[in-house]
Amino acid sequence: MPLMSRKHGEEQPYWGFGPFKIRLPFIHHRLETPEMVQGLIMFVVGLAMIPLLETYLGMPYEAALAFTFVAGVCYCLPAILGVPLVPGWITPAIPVVLLYLKGFEPGPEAIKAMFALQIEVTLIFLFLGVTRLGSKLVDAIPNSLKSGIIIGAGIAAMMGELKVGGRVDATPVSLIIGSIVCAYILFSLSFKNVMNESKLAKQIANYGMVPGMIIAMVVGWTVGEYPVPDIQWGITQPDFDLMWEYLVFSLGFPGWDVFMLAIPTALIAYVIAFGDIIVGFTLVKRVDYLRDDEKIEENVDRVHLVTALRNAIHAFFAPWPGLSGPLFTAAHASIAERYAMGRKAMDSFYSGAGTFWLTGLFALFMLPLVTMFKPVLPIALSLTLILTAYICIMVGMEQLKNSTERGVAGIVAVTLAMPDPKSTVYAIVIGVVLYLLIERPKLMGKHDPADEIVFADPEKADS
């Protein structure tokens, strides 16, 4: 039990520190056993960045492994600093980031380019967090544009997996079976009915996407889609000295021309991350009303500040093609579903989120786990992207209030999902234009939101 306990209906205890609310395990919250088990498996998602570090930044495995430890520390920061979101990468932005990195030679040039991009992402989040424009932006952006960005990011993630030559095409058996199992456990209405009658089903549900991931890995090894691992014993020994040779302190800082080239990609990454923030808090709201024992603060500005801090740490000590995003969608959804089961199942959202990545950080030191999962790292990445796609589309559709919003959001989503580095810019412009021309009853001046709903929905207009 933690040293500090929460009274019914209040916030989880914390220490105030400027804009942050510090919560530490054993002091402010307990450790949750199901999230510990998930962390011991799901940490492989962080390791899945290693092939990209080797290919696009030109670094050896040992240095890339050291980068994952820096990432592991950064994953723990949101729960510690008062953000009720399970953090991850800006996952749907990865194809755009890799397209940007292809313009640079792997090695020093690419690392400097990645530094420039990640610093710019840091500055965007920092500016919007300090000025508190981030929270205002959530309310100011039209609902159709927000939902379109979320849905489009989901479609883009799914298309990347299903394309010819993609991971589903290369290893269909393991990924299709794993995806079906994960989706059934996390989202199926029939499985929820089974949970009400079976203690075993409820125990399985506690572990989120872990059962599906394990089944996918076993199937992959069995049918020969992935090589059998060479398990080694001991403690991992990342080469931090070698890692230093792949940082800007050793390589030098990029020129202004590189910073200029990085601006469009940085803006695209923020737009997608903004959609992640909306998805994350929407998932919290979906389960928060079921729990009157805890008050969860939804502070968008704090999310911006913590995300800026994580990206700054990465830029200087572990340039990261996945960038530091506010949400690991699949894990966040899994923890939210278990949180909805009540206080006995999970004392606080912070105890679940904090336990998950703290365990994942310690798992990085366990050589048997690292070597066992090394051959199947693509499975972890693919299942994450596929579940992210489903959740983004589901949440985006939920936010749309009428047929006109659904039409505008659909156009924005399709445009965003196009395989073009400028597609996000086009999607935003098209979304704003369509909102002004189609959704608003008056092109200029103020208007009554009630009138907007009546005119926007033909079904209501007819009635």
| pLDDT per residue as tens digits for the range 70-96 | 999 999 999 999 999 999 998 777 877
What's the Cα-to-Cα distance from 447 to each of 140, 408, 420, 441, rounded to whole Å? 15, 19, 36, 7
- Kindly give, in sequence order, each residue whose CB lies less than 8 Å from that of residue 266, ignoring residues fewer than 6 positions away: 117, 120, 121, 124
At residue 261, the pLDDT reads: 87
Structural domain that includes position 365:
15-171+226-439
- Residue 65's nearest CA partner among 388, 377, 352 is 377
Determine contact, residues 86/42, Cβ cutoff 8 Å. Answer: no
- Residue 23's nearest CA partner among 365, 349, 422 is 349
Q: What is the pTM of this model?
A: 0.81
Total domains in the chain come to: 1
At residue 168, the pLDDT reads: 85
445 part of a folded domain: no
364 part of a folded domain: yes
What are the pLDDT digits (tens) for 85-127?
999 998 777 877 887 888 899 999 999 999 999 999 999 999 9
460 part of a folded domain: no
Burial class (CB in 10 A: 0-12, 13-18, 19+), 165: exposed
Instruction: For residues 290 and 276, give the distance between their C-alpha atoms in angstroms, rounded to a whole number.
Output: 22
At residue 169, the pLDDT reads: 81
More confident residue, 21 or 201: 21
What are the pLDDT digits (tens) for 410-462?
998 898 887 776 676 788 888 889 988 888 777 666 655 555 544 444 445 44
At residue 455, the pLDDT reads: 44
Determine contact, residues 59/251, Cβ cutoff 8 Å. Answer: no
134 part of a folded domain: yes
More confident residue, 305 or 403: 305
- The mean per-residue pLDDT over the stretch 314-320 comes to 95
215 part of a folded domain: no
217 part of a folded domain: no
More confident residue, 82 or 389: 82
Q: Tokens for 236, please give them.
A: 């991992």
Cβ-count burial 199-236 (b if 16+ within 10 Å, e if not): eebeebbbbbbbbbbebbbebbbeeebbeebeeeeeeb
- The mean per-residue pLDDT over the stretch 305-318 comes to 96
- Least confident segment among 245-259, 290-304, 408-422: 408-422
153 part of a folded domain: yes
What are the pLDDT digits (tens) for 175-191?
999 999 988 888 888 88
120 part of a folded domain: yes
